Amino acid sequence: MSDSCCCPTEAGSTVCELPAQDFQRPSRTKNTCPVCGMRGKPVQGQTVKALLSVSLREVQDVEYLFCKTQDCPVVYFSPDGEQIFRAEHIRERVYQKEPESDDVFVCYCFRHTVGDIRAASSESRKAILEDINIGINAGQCACDLRNPQGSCCLGNVRGLIKRHDQVMTDMAK
Ligand SMILES: [Zn+2]
């Protein structure tokens, strides 16, 4: 977050003159991971329930958040930051935490791993993307129940392909 004032500069004054109304600095910003401090992405309750490997008696009726920071051990946390579920509490290995591990899924619904993408030719990569798209259009995906992030994997797959295409290009130089 920027410390600089974002008020419009008016009448030649570059200093913010608006009173800081109702502004209290919270000890912890809501929805940020209690371990890494990055903002989490809200996930549906069914995602957390489907992905946890621990007793669902521990699940509270709150909107959990997903932490995608690679080197942070937290996968889900409660909005107040009091409860966390780490990678070892999740039934699947989490792509965001191990984006370079060949045997981790990047597409959980149609079961494409990082290794599949890495080993594929650019033709095969297109075929994998197409397979995912066809599956999505046929309503065969269940990202909310299978993917720890609780949403569609396509952005991750595209990003992974792009990253590896870039590696290939760099190696060819
Ligand atoms: Zn985190």
Q: For the whole model, what pTM was predicted?
A: 0.80
Predicted confidence at residue 29, as pLDDT, reads 76
Residue 76: domain span: 41-89
Cβ contacts of 115-118, under 8 Å, gap ≥ 24: 117/157, 117/160, 117/161, 117/164, 118/164
Of residues 73, 47, 77, the one with CA closest to residue 65: 77
pLDDT value at residue 2: 41
**168 and 120 belong to one structural domain:** yes
Give the DSSP letter of residue 33: -
Q: How far is CA 124 from CA 63, 117, 130, in A?
A: 38, 8, 10
Same-domain status, 102 and 70: no
Q: How far is the CA of 90 from the centre of ligand 1 (A)?
A: 15
- CA of 164 from ligand 1 middle (Å) equals 25
The values of phi and psi at residue 132, to 5°, are -65, -45
Q: Does residue 132 form part of some domain?
A: yes
Instruction: Give residue 164's pLDDT.
Output: 85
Q: Does residue 66 form part of some domain?
A: yes
Q: Are residues 58 and 99 in the same domain?
A: no
Q: What pLDDT does 152 receive?
A: 95
Return d(Cα 65, Cα 84) in angstroms, integer. 9
95 CA → ligand 1 middle, Å: 14
The pLDDT value given to residue 136: 96
Q: Per residue of the chain (173 residues), what is the pLDDT tens digit?
A: 444 444 444 444 445 455 555 555 455 678 999 999 999 999 999 999 999 999 999 999 999 999 999 999 999 999 999 999 999 999 999 999 999 999 999 999 999 999 999 999 999 999 999 999 999 999 999 999 999 999 999 999 999 999 988 777 787 77
Same domain, 145 and 79: no
Domains in the chain, number: 2
Cα 99 to Cα 31: distance, rounded to the nearest angstrom: 23
pLDDT at 20: 53
CA of 123 to the centre of ligand 1 (A): 36
